[in-house]
């Protein structure tokens, strides 16, 4: 297993920090990609941050009311080794399927 840290992303032009309003996940939770993780408030708006990936939550940083700077750790996931990248999925390894049969009279010269 590997740990992957997700830092607070840049939430908008010029914003350098955000305040945690409410965590929607807890350590130990298994989350899916795009699942809402946390509600944070910036000087512009309150937003829910979707998870960048699937994984098990190991740690969350900051409780309600705490300020977190952009780029500082927000949440740490535990993922199996060799999982998909952040974009796309891992192709399934399937037994090859066929419908086409070959037929040929081969001249073995």
Partner 1 sequence: MSNSILESVDAAGDSTPGRTGTSAGTPASTIVMSMQQALNRALDEVLAENPKAVIFGEDCGQLGGVFRITDGLQAKHGAQRVFDTPLAESGILGMSVGLAMAGFHPIPEVQFDGFAYPAINQIVCQIARMNYRSRGTLPMPITLRVPSFGGIRAPEHHGESLEALFAHVPGLKVVSPSNPHEAYHLLKYAATRPDPVIFMEPKSRYWQKGEVNLAHGEAGAGSPTGAKVMREGRHLTLVAWGAMVARCLQVAELAAEDGIDIEVLDLRWLKPIDAEALAASVRKTRRAVVVHEAPLTSGLGAEVAQLITQSCFDTLRAPVERVTGFDVPYPSGDLEDEYIPNIDRILFGIQRVLEYKRG
Binding mask 16-55 for partner 1 (x = CB under 8 A): ----------------------------------------
Task: Determine the interface stretch with partner 1 among 14-22, 30-38, 55-63, 93-101 (rule: CB under 8 A).
Answer: 93-101
How many other β-carbons are positioned within 10 Å of the β-carbon of residue 31? Answer: 19
Q: Does 87 bind partner 1 (CB under 8 A)?
A: yes
Residues 109, 105: Cα–Cα separation, whole Å: 12
Strand 2-7: give its sheet, edge to edge. Answer: 2-7, 73-79, 55-60, 30-31
The binding site for partner 1 (CB under 8 A) comprises 2, 7, 82-91, 93, 96-104, 106
């Amino acid at each position: 297993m590997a740990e992957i840290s997700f830092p607070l992303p840049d939430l908008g032009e010029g914003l350098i920090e955000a305040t945690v309003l409410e965590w929607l996940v807890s350590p130990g939770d298994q989350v899916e990609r795009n699942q809402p993780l946390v509600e944070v408030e910036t000087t512009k708006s309150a937003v829910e941050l979707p998870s960048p990936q699937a994984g098990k939550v190991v740690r969350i940083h900051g409780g309600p009311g705490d300020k977190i700077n952009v780029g500082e750790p927000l949440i740490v996931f535990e993922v199996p080794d060799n999982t998909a990248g952040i974009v796309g999925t891992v192709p399934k390894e399937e037994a090859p399927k066929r419908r086409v049969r070959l037929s040929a009279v081969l001249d073995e010269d």
